[in-house]
Structure 1
Amino acid sequence: MAWQNVKVHFVIVLYVWICSQASCEVVLNCWWNQAIPVGRNVSVVCHMSTLARANSCGLCQLNVITQGHRHQFPSTCASTKETFNFSIATEDREQIHCMCNGSTADTCNITVRGGYPPSPPSRPDCAIEDLEVEDIYCSWTKSNEPMIPTVYTLHWKDYDGNVKSRESSSESAVINRAEYMKSTYTTAWVTAKNVLGSAQSENSVFDTGHIKRPDPPYNINLTSAPLEFIWDMDCDRMGPLDKSCQVQYHENNHMDWIEVDDCQVMFVLEDPQPFTQYRFRVRCHCGHEEKVMSYWSSVYSVRTPPAAPVGQLDVWSDCAPNSDKSSCKVYWKEMPLSQARGEIISYVVMLKLENGTQVTRQQRDTECLHPAEQSCLQLRCFPLKPGVMGVFVSANTSMGTSNPTFMPFAVRGQTTPEVNLSVMGENQTLLVSWAVHQQFSESVLEYVVQHVSVVPHSCLNWVRVNRAQRSVTLKGDLRNHTAYNVSLFAVFNNHSTFLKSVIAYTLEGVPPKVPQIHVKNISHSSATLIWSPIPVNESKGVILHYLVGIKETGSKISSDRTSALLSELQPAQQYQVWVSAVSAAGEGVRSFTTFSTNEKDRDVKTILFAVFIPLLMFLVLVWVFTLVCKTTRCCVKIPDPINSKTFKHMNFQHAWPRLCSPSELTLKISELEIVENLDPNTPTPPSETESEKFLIDVEPQHFQVPDGLGRTNEGGDEPEESNRGNISKPDSWAKEYSEMVDTDEEKDDGDDEAWWDQQCVSDYERHFLPSVKAN
């Protein structure tokens, strides 16, 4: 017995080990209900199925991993299908993973998406299509699109209360002849179910003996005047009045069918629109017991006869800013068929000129439009020339001409009141509202809200609004992520006035990359980042601001700026800077560029202040020093008698402030040359050494400087050579010296002796002037 227990435990352990080593593939689909308003948490439903390999997946456990949590399916994944519900945070609904058997070696494929629970299907329509087979075909229609796999099931209950069902992936199912009893009442209904919910249709009760589907009506005849729809219907053993038919019709430009019940063999449409295309179809059932409708007949169409046009054209103008009527184009929309009531042959444009004359023109095509505007099929235009005062436009058909429409031109330079214009964008819709002073609105006939895309040559469109309204919804061919210029005009009796305009988007998107980004004015600690603004027609939304950064965090820059200063940078460092645009939809793609700062000692300004300015100062000093030295050397080389005490009584009117006395330029100094005395009685002059000693040992003499020195030489009878070397006789030398000095004044002979007898000799005279002392 113990051995048997050991074997059993061994087999279990071996089985568990084999199953743990087995590999399995799990397919997991998870959905969340998009019909429930998004809150803090969302309920997720996961449906699991396995594809076993190696005959069995064993005790493989499935774990659904979410943000910070792990959810385990309650049972094993061995060839089973399970549905598991759990709640997670809304922001984590797309971050779901799975793991099979606690090992990443096993394959776990997961798909996560949103969906809707089904809405109740329509009541099933059941009929016998083929009398030989007599199977009952039941069909129904969906009320919504769940976007996830949904199973439809047809249920029916016979007169005994037995309920049977049949699943279908489509919108129809078949009850076989063997599954119902003929000529008995049967109740049928349809249920729809998916992982997010279920719904049931209304019941359909019918007699299985009277559900034969008849053939559709035939021999259909349609006339336009009057508008009659006639047909035939075959019903066995039934009179023509026992039939009950349904008629559906619609105008060619309206796709929704209008249904009329309780018709027998014909239908007459009262008051049809002239020159309008109508489409008809019909189906019937035979008698009171045969409640099964036939299939719809083919669709037949007819156009009613034309008539004279009614109403007026919708005319507007588009002028260049700050211009006159000569640069305007008059636009009008095609007249609707309900007003034209016939084919429009041409449009008549009547022009009233300044000279009082009227000119009529006919416009048949769209030649006025730009090629890019040819797709604006509802627009016609007429270019104006100078001298036009008024424009009237009307439509011309084969049945007549519409009443002319006056074009109220916009008046330029007119004072307008303050207007608050607001435009809110939604998906392909613009909600426009405004507020105007009440006193101004009393004289307004109507408002015109004009909108046009900022893309060049886009279709111009406008809407007329009653003066009591303060809002309008713009629809039509409006594209998302596209900028529109919305303008508000006020229309008066004979003119219109522009009030205000704004740029708006139906649905904003994330802006594109900022173009043409570069860096300039780079120094060792700062730089300037410059970029080009994103054009309005490419921005996909209103640019709220720009983000500029070097690392992950960016700084906000106003949307009207295109540059930013990068400061507090390090010298000789490489930086990667980025810029991006931000709209209401979020931040756009970042544009990057790389630059390097300069080294600190290579700053150009530092070089200028540290090198150039001291060098300039040095050159200035050298120039001043050179000038001073040059002047000084000039003064030293020429002995100036003015520096002698001999001339201390002279009139120095032209001395200082010059460094060198101006007297050097005016005084004329005669050259004094001492020569040997030719008189034989004169002793031989001493040697050079003795002369030097004699000059050095001479005691200073005191002289008195006369008032002036004469220029004339009274002793001019003797030649110059006779005076050379005549230094032995003081009286003679002094006289000759005084005679050699130029002066403008008369000199007195008696003064020479007094001048020589003075015993005061200055250092200047001792150095430059000869001094002889008699022995």
Structure 2
Amino acid sequence: MQRDWGILLGEMLLLLFLPGGTQSCGVIAVESPVILLGAPLSASCTLRRESCRGLEKGVPQVVWKLDGDFIPATQVSSDHESTSTVNLRSFNKSTGFLSCYAKGIKEMQLVDRVQISAGYPPSPPSKLSCVMNLTDDSVTCSWDPGRDPLITTNVTLSIHRLKGQCGNLGEKKLDCIPIRGQSSCIIPREQFNPYQNIEIWVTVQNALGSAASIPLCLLPMDAVKLDPLTIQEVASVPSRPGCVNVRWKEVKKRTWLDQRYQLRYRREEEKQWTEPLDMVNGSMMTEHCSLLPATKYHFQIRCIKSSLRGHWSEWSTERSLVTLESAPTGKLVTWWRRLHATDTVRMAEFQLLWKALKREDANAESLWYVVSASPGAHNDDIMICNTTSLWCSFTMPDGVRGVSVRAYNTAGHSPETDVIFSNRNGHPASGIQASPHGDHSLRIDWEPQASASGYVLEWCKYSQHPDCEISWKTEPGNSSGSILQDNIEPLQLYTVWLYPLYEGSVGSPVQTEAYSKQGAPAFSPKLTLRSVSKSQAELAWEPVPLERRHGFITSYTVFWADETGKEHYAALNGSSRKFVIRNLHPFSTYKVLLGSFTAGGSVNGTVLMLHTTLLDEVEIHMLLIALCLACALAIIAVFTLCLRKHARMKRHFWPSVPDPANSSLGRWSPTLQENPKMAFNIKDVSQMITSDVTILEGWTEKKLPLADPPKRFPIIQKGYFQEHSVQPLSTTHDIASLRSYINVADTVQYAKVITGGYRGQSPPSSLYLRSDSTQPLLCDMTPSPKRYENMWFHETNQDDSVFLVGEETLSEFPLLQGLKIQEEGESLSF
């Protein structure tokens, strides 16, 4: 459409700027630019060849267009060289541009264009009516214009004042021109007399014809429409339940005009108003009864002239009222359930349920319910429950087999309903079936029982929990089906129980399960790999929880694909919980998933990666047995070899180590007088076994001996004191200060001999201990001497030195006698 208008705009601009205008080249002739919609159209285009430029030699070729679309050549004819005619069988556009072109040497040249309009003749206006407004004393007339003519149409409202009765034309005609597009017109007060008849009609005219409405003759005062009223008050009548008083007033009071009134009302939950009620009294107040108690009503009122001539006013604004309460009427419909099964009715826990009374029976906005029991004729009633709920749970009192329930409000109470609790062991119903009846309802069908007086249906949403919210309803004894609508949701499983009611007993229940609407499960079960071998795998899964199934699981499908992408599947029934995939390739990888299907859809689970083994379980066991046998044989062979080569193995793994206790040194006797000289050759150092000797000797506190001091000092090399600047201990004070760093213990180490290792082994260390010794030790607080200090060399008394070796010491340690070294004529003992 935008493209067509663009082409038309371009062609119009071309016409504007064409040298000499279109009259200089040619002209289009039509019978009328306005025609009936759908009628045929003929037009001719005449060329002035001498005025057209750039035309081809010979007979010029003429082309026609309608709103930018070429007209087929079959509809175009040429009478002679300068005229071309087009014939359209039906013009189906409300408006269009017809264009004529002449083909030139370089391009087509626009010759002329005309606009064609199509429509209908005007329809006669109908339903002409006029209303007089007393506020501004004007008359407003309106009418139904009928079918749209699609072309420009002129509308005129004509008014004639009459001299008397209707039909006698009066003085002059007055016209009222409505606003274009509107079908009403306002006649001002100056153009009529309220108490003089006038005649009014509507005339319409266009290019295709004209029409007029039927004339309307009226007296303006008989066409008066009064202003809306205002309701002042709506109040209940305390002494008369169901009655109200309605009081109203006029916006602009006109005492000279008698009026009639109409009242209408509706309940809050209703959309339809009641039929208007006529009121003739002029006291601006009325009383209306027969309303329901404790019900909210809306009221409206309107008025008209008492002669009923004219028009009713508009309805007033609404006023609301809640009527007074009255005592409930009718008995409650009850049902009961045994919460905990027992053998007898006595001491059993029951739940009593009842249906809410209808609004017209409740007679109140809210009701209370009281459940009571009567133990006997001479005992007062026991109140069990007093509640606003529609159920009551209680334990049956002793000696009571039934209870009574009633509803009450501020105005009174309803009649009592007796309930007898009996065992439910009657004959059950049969043939129960459940089916969907919509997304929020279920249909239950059963085979009717001949002696049943009624049926009770219970249903609740199926859940893993034993307790659920019970909904119930009753059906008469001759029914064989029911529609359940309360608390029904799609994609949820419901359990339905059916109880037949007999005279004095209740039948055993039968149950069924159903969905109002099924859908795909929320998810598919997760696969678990139980076992796998080189050729098969066992899969297992847990079912989807009931709340997430969204329907009855009809089947499962296991899909698996190998590494090459080749797919396989297996269909299983809805009760399956495991599956074994067979004929798998060893040492391969497979993708496995599980699909779950219901009547409402399907869903696939997550992918499980499956890796088959190289060997199966039997082969692995046989391989393990073979390996165990091979290991056992190898161990037996090694053990036998070790027994046969015992001596060689012992020498290789356990070399002979000398035992000092069994050596010749262990049998030496101590020598006190002899001081054997032992030549020390530096070359034989490597042949000595002893690698380190530590000698510790203790003493008891005694006077320093003065005899033979040189024999008690350890032999040290000459010049030691000069090289290390060590001064000998000479005073008693110095000795005492040295003893302060000595600790005494019962057991001290007095010798440790470390020998060289044999064939690279770690050398053992022989430790000699002396018990009950008074040998002083260095205490914990003794400061460590410096590298160049030896405290025992600073003491002149040899008995107080820590490392003193004397002749008597050698007598106690026979092993040390062999460790004397003779060097430079002096005996050095270690």
Larger Rg: 2
TM-score with structure 1 setting the length:
0.48
TM-score with structure 2 setting the length:
0.45
